[in-house]
Amino acid sequence: MRLKIIGGSSHKDFTKKICADLGIEETKSQSFTFSNRNRFFTIDEAVRGDDVFVVQTQTQSVDVDVMELLIMIRTLRDSSADRITAVMPYFPYSRSDKKDQPRVCITARLIADLLQTAGANRALVMEMHSQQIQGFFSIPCDQLLAAPDVIQYLKTNWNLENYVVVAGDAGAAKMIKKYADGLNLPVAMMDKRRIGNDEKVVIKGVMGDVKGKKVLIIDDETLSGRTLIEDARFLLETAGAISIDSCFIHANLGEGAAERLNASPIQKFITTDTIPSSHFNLRNLEVVPVSHRFAEMIKRIHNNESVKSLNDIT
C-alpha cells in the first residue's frame, strides 16, 4: 500500500509539517462550501488500494470540522482506499465522555461511532480528556501523549529550580505523574468541585506544599480559562505560591478566554500545536510542536511497527 496524507481545513500547517517530516507530498484535494452551507469535497488523485491518513483537528467551528472529516472519510471509502485512519490531534467533544446527569448524550461515543460508520478503519489522537474514550471505539484507536515533547521542551528552555507541578483537579492527577517524574519535581493537586454546566468551580483547597514555590499548573485543556484563573489566584493569595505558569496540552479556548487569561496573574502559557494558535492571542505563549511525533506514529502504523515507545519519557 502507498502512504497518503490528506488534510482537512482545520489545521493546514499541521498537515504540511507531517508531510515534510515524512518526505511526501500531501494528496491533492478540494474542500469548500456552497452558498447553502453544504460541504463539497473531492480527491484529485487516485487512492485505490492506498493507506490514507486524514488529518483534522477541532477549531471553534467544531461541528463544521467534524462534518468535513466525516465527508472526507466517506469519500475515501467510496474511492476504494484500502485503509483509512482518522488523525485527530484534538478529539472533538472529548469532554462529553460520561453520563453525569440525566438525559444527556455521551457525545464522545457518538463521534467514535460516526467515524466508523463513515468508513474509518482506525483512529489516532493526542491526549484524550479521559482514558475511557479509547473504549468507545470499535476500531483500533492509538493515543499519543504530549508529555515526552513538553518535558523535553521544559528541560531545554526553562529554569525549573524551585518549581512544583500542580494538577488542576483530581482528573489531572494521573496525567501529571509523568511530568513530575520526567522533570523530577514535587507535586500538588487542587481540590475543587464543579457545579452545573456553567463552567464554574468551587475551590476547597490545595493538597501539597506550594508555599514559596513557583507553580506550573498542568492540565489537558482549558476552555473558558475561568477555572485556571481561579486556581492561580488561590495558589498566590491563599496557598503562598510566588508565581504561576500554566501548561495545557490543547488550547481549546472559547470566546473571551484569551482576554481573561491575558488579564490574569498567570505569567507564562505553554501549549502544543494540536489546535492552531492563530485562533487566539495569548501573551507570553510558548508552543511545543508535536507534528513530528504524529509523523513518526503514522510511519510506524503504515509499516506495521510497534508504537509503544513513542509515549516513553527519555
d(CA 310, CA 206): 33
Residues 6+ apart with CB under 8 A from 104: 96
CA proximity to 236, closest of 263, 215, 207? 215
The answer to whether the CB of 243 falls within 8 A of the CB of 215 is yes
**Would you call 99 a catalytic residue per the annotation?**
no
168: number of Cβ within 10 Å = 24
d(CA 260, CA 224): 8
282: number of Cβ within 10 Å = 21
The answer to whether the CB of 248 falls within 8 A of the CB of 222 is yes
Q: What is the DSSP string of 6-26?
A: EE-SS-HHHHHHHHHHHT-PP
Catalytic residue chosen out of the listed positions 192, 204, 213, 308? 192
The answer to whether the CB of 72 falls within 8 A of the CB of 54 is yes
CA proximity to 8, closest of 88, 78, 81? 88
59: number of Cβ within 10 Å = 18
C-alpha cell at 231: 486556581
Q: In 3-state terms, what secondary structure has residue 4?
A: strand
C-alpha cell at 74: 466517506
Q: Could you give the count of Cα atoms lying within 13 Å of 10 in the half-sphere of its Cβ? A: 28
Q: In 3-state terms, what secondary structure has residue 257?
A: helix
Query: Which amino acid does the sequence have at 83?
Result: R
Catalytic residues: 192
